Chains A and B, each alone.
Chain A
Amino acid sequence: EAGVTQFPSHSVIEKGQTVTLRCDPISGHDNLYWYRRVMGKEIKFLLHFVKESKQDESGMPNNRFLAERTGGTYSTLKVQPAELEDSGVYFCASSLHMGRYTFGSGTRLTVV
């Protein structure tokens, strides 16, 4: 079975620009999660989709972050405009049932 795919793997953008991260979950997984790890700190929850609906978006840091999951398949996370503190590794994970996730390899975002 194909794993969770994220791209790009790396992105370097200037402060004020826009970046869109994409996640393709494992086919058939209704649950899709976004997490972020800022350098040296813990992995923090951003939001949870069940199919195309946002189940929990309490971890989204502010309104510069917008996540979508059109048709309940792939998901995008847009940061607009990007700030320096948005730098980190953004992970996507999916699961069939709530519990054991499969994570993607992450997108390393650097805002300069």
Chain B
Amino acid sequence: GESVGLHLPTLSVQEGDNSIINCAYSNSASDYFIWYKQESGKGPQFIIDIRSNMDKRQGQRVTVLLNKTVKHLSLQIAATQPGDSAVYFCAENRGSTLGRLYFGRGTQLTVWP
């Protein structure tokens, strides 16, 4: 399953499938990107990050891809599980704004058994 972030804020996938959540950013000065997962009643939880000098980074079952040419970020979740159901946010840091993060609207991922 795949989402386009701001234009499709929900994504439903079947357990075991791969999920792709997309995010577009507009500021070419953005140099650090983070994906967060937010479960109901909890705060955003760090998943994976990537700096602008990289185009791919892998974690456990997750991969982040960065395409600076088209200002696009994606989060791939392999073998999606029901516990992955949550809202996923991309966030960017624009080098000139110190620690401040700019968040996307979020994508609701629902995993069906």
Contact = CB atoms under 8 A, between A and B. Distances in A.
Interface stretch (B55-63, B69-77, B101-109): B101-109
Contacts of A101: 46, 101
A98 B42 CA distance: 22
- Interface band, chain A: 20 to 34
A75 interface: no
Given A56-B98, A100-B49, A44 B41 contact: no
B43 A104 contact: yes
Nearest to A91: B43
- Interface band, chain B: 20 to 34
A56 B102 CA distance: 14
A56 to B, nearest CB: 6
Contact of B42 (A31, A40, A93, A105): A105
A45 B43 contact: no
Given A48-B99, A91-B44, A41 B105 contact: yes
Interface of A: 4, 6, 31, 33, 35, 40-45, 48, 55-56, 59, 91, 93, 95, 98-106
